[in-house]
Amino acid sequence: MSSNLHPMLNVAIKAARAAGAIINRAALDVESVRISQKQINDFVTEVDHASEQAIIETLLTAYPGHGILAEESGSQHGAKDSDYVWIIDPLDGTTNFIHGFPVYCVSIALAFKGKIEQAVVYDPTRNDLFTATRGRGAFLNERRIRVSKRTQLKSCLIATGFPFRPGDNFKNYLAMMGDVMQRTAGLRRPGAAALDLAYVAAGYTDAFFETGLSSWDVAAGSLLVTEAGGLIGNFTGEADFMDQRECLAGTPRIYGQLVQILGKYSKFASAGEKAALRQAGIDADNPATAAQSPDGDGVDAPGESSSD
């Protein structure tokens, strides 16, 4: 850990590395990992739980008065009324992990009064540590990172996430992907949204878009992107996206161009845009775009992440 880093970021790095060690040990014998299914195509393993427990213990030992919002345990741990809330995805890319496909990560963010102030995304398979503190830039393994300098969509590599559960609006997504694919150099679906955002920050990809994500999928990555000079918001370009289950991130010029393409697919699109889509046989407002929680509000309950 570095003495130059914010102390809260140092604690988050310690927590992420502890979780990464658990994940790497389990990856040596992934066939023996116990798996359960939260819902169709949405898995959780004993590694998710052990990783989350290690993170929470590390954070609350240092900051017992802070709140916790974690993918598997929700807000069961930590203070209930703190201005400081740690937002945790202990293993983003669980489906990849189960198959031994080495694209997954740990994501930890600290929000203060609702604004993300510290961020860590740790890729244990490559030992890549992405970090950011608000106002101090974004880093990969202590080296400053910036979003790419590309300005033309036709030369850009774009990352996305595919719908993967029954009830998701596949038709809408296929139309979006078709619109993007024919205008870009390529479309990629790695399978871990937090790492996708870190890759935008590092300039490995030029933009990322996905629907159905929860706050723990995007909290840390959102700060990495903005501190690296990028933009992040919903498909219409609104910056207040964290709980809207609609995420678009990219370099400033490419972000603006993608808003022009994807905006009409947003649930916040104008009535005219939605009508035009419906004429084409696509309904962006189809309730199937959001996986329903038990109370039917379309918001994930803890343990029901939309990032697989």
- pLDDT tens for the chain, 308 residues long, are 555 889 999 999 999 999 999 999 999 988 888 887 766 555 778 999 999 999 999 999 999 999 999 998 889 999 999 999 999 999 999 999 999 999 999 999 999 999 999 999 999 999 999 999 999 999 999 999 999 999 999 999 999 998 766 667 788 889 999 999 999 999 999 999 999 999 999 999 999 999 989 999 999 999 999 999 999 999 999 998 998 889 999 999 999 999 999 999 998 877 766 666 666 666 666 544 333 333 333 334 454 444 56
Which of 191, 57, 71 shows the shortest CA–CA distance to 123?
Answer: 191
Domains in the chain: ranges and CATH = 7-145 (3.30.540.10), 153-289 (3.40.190.80)
pLDDT of residue 283: 65
pLDDT of residue 36: 74
Question: Could you tell me if 63 and 77 are in contact, meaning their C-beta atoms sit under 8 angstroms apart?
Answer: no
> CB within 8 A of 291, min separation 6: which ones?
39, 165, 167, 168, 212, 298, 300, 304, 306
pLDDT of residue 306: 47
pLDDT of residue 165: 67
Tally Cβ neighbours within 10 Å of residue 154: 9
pLDDT of residue 85: 98
Block residue for tokens 């296929």: 174
